[in-house]
Structure 1
Amino acid sequence: MKNFKMLVLLVTAAATIQCDAIDELTKFDIDYTSSVTIESSSIVDLPFAVETPQLQTNSESEFESNNTNKDLIEDIRLKRMTLSITNPADKNFSFLESIEIFISADGVDEISLAILDPVPGNSTRTLDLETTGADLQEYIKKDSFKLRVQSITDEVIDQDVQIDILSVFAVDAKILGI
């Protein structure tokens, strides 16, 4: 009887390990890059918002290339959001006090994606924002979505600042459609 319990325990453990390994095969990332320009301004401590153009998701082809479809998606979350200044070459993010990025899509309410408050005073040309952890299936399954950048400056901006936004979404699909 003791050997039988041990055998059942080993078989259960092996099955769990295999299911976890299979589950990892159904996870993949989708990357989107967009750009915004923060216009020069002499006003400090005033909130402002800038929207990106519509971003085409191409989700159907992304799902297909990862051997799944939108009906099998269990979860999509923002894994990482990185902002990089591309112009001017000598600018860094020290002009920002705080920043928050929102996502919206047709027929879906806008929600917060990522935030950094406060922005470190010793900023570089690249910022990694803290993600909110929201499930974003409704947005990424759409044909397109928009990002809105809301920020407060703590310095005068004497030149337009071009910023690239890299969004990495982690997708988790159902195992074998179940």
Structure 2
Amino acid sequence: MHHKHAKQHNNQYIMKKLYLIVTVVLLTYGSCKEVSQLTHFYIDYTSNVTIPPADVVGIPIDVWTPYIPTNSDEIFGNNNTSSGLIEEIILTEMKMNITSPSSQSFDFLKSIEIYIIANNLSEVKIAWYDDIPQTGLSSINMETSNDDLKEFIKKDEFKLRFKTVLRQQISDTTDIEIFSTFFVDAQILGI
């Protein structure tokens, strides 16, 4: 009889331990998920590039944006993090709009590749559009890479290099506005 009581007590002890372990695992998972949600934010940048008149068709032409200030220290601080706590930064969206001349469309371009450049870093291809349709579009959304760009955004500034291939000659300067959205995954200060 004493043996049966000891076995029952032992089973209760094991069940309590198991319950405690499951509770700790669930709380840990739940809190990690909560912290993870608190550490995600987006950074938007707007820049401009000018494609000069050109009569070179089918050969790549490079043009650059001016340097774009990142303001990353301020942005990270506003999101309760710092550059040392950044896990990953990925370009999630890049949209381009022709701003001048108003009659221009992207029909003149066959393709675009966009590279990010910053001091002391090798450039990285971050966006592209192959075989741009000839449908009169004045706005296009680029395909984007999944590369981690944190080292570029942590710098004070970066610029973009556009490798363009013209489908047809252009006689006017074409101004393009670029909207970029970067997703940031970071740890929270003090956690």
The number of residues matched between the two structures is: 178
Task: For structure 1, list consecutive stretches of 5 or more residues without a partner in the other structure.
Answer: none
Does the alignment pair 1:150 with 2:171? no
Question: What does the per-residue CA deviation read over 1:59-100, in whole Å, with 9 as the maximum and x for residues that have no partner?
Answer: 100100111110111111111111111111122111111101
Alignment gaps of 5+ in structure 2 = 1-13
CA contact (8 A) 2:80 2:188 kept: no
Alpha-carbon distance between aligned partners in 2 of 1:110 and 1:127, rounded to the nearest angstrom = 23
Q: Which residue of 2 aligns with 1:19?
A: 32
The residue matched to 2:123 in structure 1 has which SS? strand
Residue pair 2:81, 2:188 contacting (<8 A) in 1 also: no
Cα shift at 1:17 = 3.3
1:27-176 equivalences under 5 Å are 27-175=40-188
Question: Does the C-alpha gap of structure 1 residues 154 and 33 become closer, same or farther in structure 2, counting only changes over 3 Å?
Answer: same
C-alpha change, 1:9 and 1:122, in structure 2 (3 Å) is farther
| 1:6–1:34 distance in 2 versus 1, CA, 3 Å | same
> Are the counterparts in 1 of residues 81 and 189 from structure 2 also a CA contact under 8 Å?
no
Identity %: 41
Q: Report the structure number with the largest CA radius of gyration.
A: 2
Letter in 1 for 2:86: I
SS at match of 1:107: coil
Label 1:121 to 1:8 Cα distance change in 2 as closer, same or farther (>3 A). Answer: farther
More strand by share: 1
SS, match of residue 49 in structure 2: strand
